[in-house]
Structure 1
Amino acid sequence: MSSTNLNPKKAAVVGGGVIGGGWVARFLLNGWNVSVFDPDPQAERKIGEVIENARRSLPALYDRALPAEGILTFHDDMASAVADADWIQESAPEQLVLKHKILADIQAHAPKDCLIGSSTSGFKPSELQEESDNPGQIVVAHPFNPVYLLPLIEVVPSKATDAAAVDAGCEILRSVGLKPLVVRKEIDAHIADRLLEAVWREGLWLVHDGVATTQEIDDAIRFGFGLRWAQMGLFETYRIAGGEAGMEHFIGQFGPALKWPWTKLMDVPELTPELTARIAQQSDDQSGHMTIRELERLRDDNLVGMMRALKKSGSGAGGTINNHEASLHNHGSIDHLPVTVDRQIPQSWTDYNGHMNEAHYVEISAQASDRFMELIGADAEYITSGSSYFTVENHVCYVQEITAGDRISVTTQLIKGLGKKLHLFHRLMTVDGRIAATVETMLLHVDLKTRRTSEPGGIVATNLAEIAAEHDGLPKPEELGRAIG
């Protein structure tokens, strides 16, 4: 029942800290084989913990199952780690001399046509390329933590980098669900970190001057403009603030405020031991009651919830997820029945008992019905033309618990497809083939103009007749026709 990856690609990750571990998880869970080089004796444990968090959260973004996981290996030498790699990611500490040494070692053993991305948050690619015999091979590929969830990757080439190589590299990043943003000009700290640095500096002053605590500053962001930024960014948010008159009006109204002494961006308080201790204590007071892993899981659950909400409108990161999900073609058949859903159960679908809430059994069956409609030709184009199927009745039999993280496949059997009625039977199955639930559903074909039932025609009627002939010989489900009691 599990999907297989017949032609896995290989990613090599050099440096297995927080960022490197996130890169490992992002590639691994998208079906890539991943080799790791990191001299830290704790690297395997640390990366393993990051992967466990990623397994819990990344698939929850999608309504289709990700590819089968790749193979993870750890290496004691650079040569074996980077050999035959399709993508290499360097995530060493932010020390230019150290990065030069590591990049030289990578290039000595890496395929000459394989891009080497650096996770650097501040160095320009031309600085990384110093002392390199093949400078165009090295680019900045700066991610955001957690790498396995947040899609943005700042890709910064130099004049030595071939444009076609950058395009190919961006295509690789998109294939694992990332959003590459190619930076037009080299600049220290790229784009996003320069914006973050401005907010960080102002935040330090607010704590230094006793205006706000670390928690109060975080509250100002997370309950206010942070939610707007998640979907619209900075300039689009301000465009709306300008009302019907638009951006020009906004700038005319609020632009003069830029000359007022509101911020201290041209200055920064000295990080004295006293100020550092104050910030550290306030941070401990704010969230010291939780472990780092608990905070990471809280962060991941929140991000999943926000990004799944953004999926519905396709805004921001939601559009990236939708595009990636569309490429996940993993429907097949089980026992001569089409697999209409194959997905992992997200944390947000569980209730106080720890298992999937009843409503989501019907939600999965609705997804299966929608997929079956697509199979017979009643797709988006068909609906646009003025016809569709409406669900009129469901009956759910709950057989066993389904919990967060479980992978569920749904098969759909056509019971009756003649005339206006579409009678379907969905089986929700676990990876070991056990039935977790069944959903019997009745739909009626409707003319969307009159909102009355009607006979399907054309390709839909033809496809239904063909599937009916295939399914007529199958045994009828034992649960068919059941009612309460």
Structure 2
Amino acid sequence: MEKIAAIIGGGVIGGGWAARFALMGWQVRVFDPDPEAERKIGEVMANAERALPMLYESPMPKRGEITFHDTIAEAVVGATYVQESVPERLEIKQKVYAELQKHVAENAVLASSTSGFKPSELQEGAARPQQILVAHPFNPVYLLPLAEVVPGQASLEVIEKASETLRDIGMYPLHIKAEIDAHVADRLLEAVWREALWLIKDGICTTEELDDAIRYGFGLRWAQMGLFETYRIAGGEAGMKHFMAQFGPALKWPWTKLMDVPEFNNDLVDLIAGQSDDQSGHMSIRELERLRDNNLVAMMRALKGQEAAAGKLIRDHDARLRGPLADEVPLVTVRRTVPVDWVDVNGHMNEGRYGQVFSDASEELMAHVGADRAYIDAGNSYFTAETNIKYLDETLVGEEFFVETRVALGEGKKLRLLHEMKRASDGAVLSSCDQFLLHVSLETRKSCPPLPDVLAAVEALADKHAG
């Protein structure tokens, strides 16, 4: 069944939604009266197409087409999920929902990207209020997985369908059961923002110094543990109660001005804008976006290696995207994109990463013949005894490649694999690897014959790949 999403409003957030849906294999239909919408979304898509695949070891789904339409009625044809990202004015949003419900299927999800309005405000006066909910994302939508799902009067069926759709495109639907202005995450951001405005206005620090306090300190902790888990550790062995007892009295101290707001006048705007220009004005917005995307990919890939927080989400989604190997000669064991954290100072893939690529290829082949995680947990595996890697051409960040694997020898406990790593765009051979493995018992740590089913599968591949 074809997956179709409609995007109503194609600005920064709408463009991010369109890119994520399309890269996850959905057909995307966009309505935005801005004559520049197609160009703007195209630029967002270019960033997303470069960055998002770097998070995954699996090949991405076949990219869905993004089409642009002159009316809402045209855009929602066949759509099972509609994401509204029009300007933050309640009367505009309510008008859009009235128009949407004239044309969209009654069982489609109508989701809003609103960062401030409650779902009950969006649902007011709607023909089918149970069809509407909030799915509030974070920029860049194509990389950051969180979407705050706030239902209001939305039906359980719509909540479940929205959450299922968000998980399908690799996002984390956080179901917020009670509605409140600005939901949860933006209320936290607003509190930090207000205090930051005072610190700048009072001359305590500059915009750059304040950003340094976040990115070199608690921002790194928050990225993996959030707020309460971080503070639980701060309590030491005594735990959260000790932390609360130790720092609770600080709530009565005049550490923040959150109950007071600085006058938002031209002087404050000019002060902050000037400092921000000094801090980052040497880079264009597109350069800053590229830097942001590189950092996010590297951080989330690090978390992925530890199966923590957003990294675990990506790892699990990666596993769902990776299907069984096609029964072909040679076997295509790896299809992926070179991520930013694989590149060295010369701008090309570090030689150590070639070893990882070929290791990943052999693991895919092992799983294909039945020597999978369960086989390993039962005490059996193949260990690499020798590799001979040849580096034939540069491999650059963001390039797509694949690995073709042949079984050159499959006799008893011996397994010899020949790998060729090829550039996806032209089939050029980037590297090759001759890999010799021995089957071992994980109990004795000594070589031994594979179990009969695995041995039979290996021998069958060796016969098929002969010559």
2:118 corresponds to which residue?
124
1:401-480 matches, cutoff 5 A: 401-431=394-424, 432-472=426-466, 475=467
Letter in 1 for 2:42: G
Partners of 1:335 and 1:108 in 2: CA distance = 49
1:54 corresponds to which residue?
48
Letter in 2 for 1:54: A
TM-score (norm 1): 0.93
2:256 corresponds to which residue?
263
Q: Secondary structure at the match of 2:321?
A: coil
CA contact (8 A) 2:329 2:406 kept: no
Partners of 2:338 and 2:136 in 1: CA distance = 30
1:483 corresponds to which residue?
none
Letter in 2 for 1:148: Y
Partners of 2:461 and 2:329 in 1: CA distance = 11
Letter in 2 for 1:297: R
Letter in 2 for 1:370: E
Query: Of residues 103, 116, 135 in structure 1, which corresponds to 2:129?
Result: 135
1:344 corresponds to which residue?
337
2:156 corresponds to which residue?
163
Once the two structures are overlaid, the 10-residue window that deviates more, 325-334 or 225-234, is 325-334
1:182 corresponds to which residue?
175
1:383-398 matches, cutoff 5 A: 383-398=376-391
Once the two structures are overlaid, the 10-residue window that deviates more, 54-63 or 432-441, is 432-441
Letter in 1 for 2:37: A
1:282 corresponds to which residue?
275
Could you list the structure 1 runs, at least 4 aligned residues long, displaced by more than 6 angstroms after superposition: none
Counterpart check, 1:24 vs 2:18: yes
How far the C-alpha of 1:46 sits from its partner, in A, is 0.7
1:255-299 C-alpha deviation (Å, 9 max, x unpaired)? 111111111111111111111110010111110100000000000
Aligned residue-pair number: 466
Partners of 1:294 and 1:140 in 2: CA distance = 31
Query: Of residues 146, 151, 159 in structure 2, which corresponds to 1:152?
Result: 146
Partners of 1:326 and 1:455 in 2: CA distance = 29
CA contact (8 A) 2:76 2:103 kept: yes
CA contact (8 A) 1:8 1:31 kept: no
Letter in 2 for 1:348: D
Counterpart check, 1:312 vs 2:299: no
How far the C-alpha of 1:388 sits from its partner, in A, is 1.7
1:297 corresponds to which residue?
290
Letter in 1 for 2:36: Q
Partners of 1:379 and 1:165 in 2: CA distance = 38
Q: Secondary structure at the match of 1:464?
A: helix
How far the C-alpha of 1:381 sits from its partner, in A, is 1.8
Letter in 1 for 2:199: L
Q: Secondary structure at the match of 2:88?
A: coil
1:482 corresponds to which residue?
none
Partners of 2:445 and 2:323 in 1: CA distance = 34
Partners of 1:165 and 1:279 in 2: CA distance = 42
1:252 corresponds to which residue?
245
Please report the RMSD computed on the Cα atoms of aligned residues, expressed in angstroms.
Answer: 1.4
How far the C-alpha of 1:434 sits from its partner, in A, is 3.5
Query: Of residues 220, 224, 228 in structure 2, which corresponds to 1:231?
Result: 224
Letter in 1 for 2:220: L
Partners of 1:37 and 1:379 in 2: CA distance = 46
1:14 corresponds to which residue?
8
Query: Of residues 206, 213, 227 in structure 2, which corresponds to 1:220?
Result: 213
CA contact (8 A) 1:19 1:147 kept: yes
1:72 corresponds to which residue?
66
Q: Secondary structure at the match of 1:413?
A: strand
Relative to 1, partners in 2 of residues 1:139 and 1:123: Cα closer, same or farther, differing over 3 Å? same
2:31 corresponds to which residue?
37
Counterpart check, 1:112 vs 2:106: yes
Partners of 1:335 and 1:356 in 2: CA distance = 28
How far the C-alpha of 1:139 sits from its partner, in A, is 0.5
Q: Secondary structure at the match of 1:149?
A: coil
Counterpart check, 1:400 vs 2:381: no
1:328-365 C-alpha deviation (Å, 9 max, x unpaired)? 13554485222211111113323344332222221110
Relative to 1, partners in 2 of residues 1:298 and 1:308: Cα closer, same or farther, differing over 3 Å? same
How far the C-alpha of 1:409 sits from its partner, in A, is 1.5
Q: Secondary structure at the match of 1:443?
A: strand
1:479 corresponds to which residue?
none
Stretches of structure 1 lacking an aligned partner (at least 5 in a row): 1-6, 476-485
Letter in 2 for 1:55: E
Partners of 1:222 and 1:307 in 2: CA distance = 15
CA contact (8 A) 1:333 1:411 kept: no
Partners of 1:126 and 1:115 in 2: CA distance = 16
Once the two structures are overlaid, the 10-residue window that deviates more, 377-386 or 111-120, is 377-386
Counterpart check, 1:364 vs 2:357: yes
How far the C-alpha of 1:56 sits from its partner, in A, is 0.9
Q: Secondary structure at the match of 1:395?
A: strand
Q: Secondary structure at the match of 1:136?
A: helix
Q: Secondary structure at the match of 2:125?
A: coil
Relative to 1, partners in 2 of residues 1:217 and 1:56: Cα closer, same or farther, differing over 3 Å? same
Letter in 1 for 2:370: G
Partners of 1:315 and 1:349 in 2: CA distance = 20
Stretches of structure 2 lacking an aligned partner (at least 5 in a row): none
Q: Secondary structure at the match of 1:423?
A: strand
Relative to 1, partners in 2 of residues 1:51 and 1:291: Cα closer, same or farther, differing over 3 Å? same
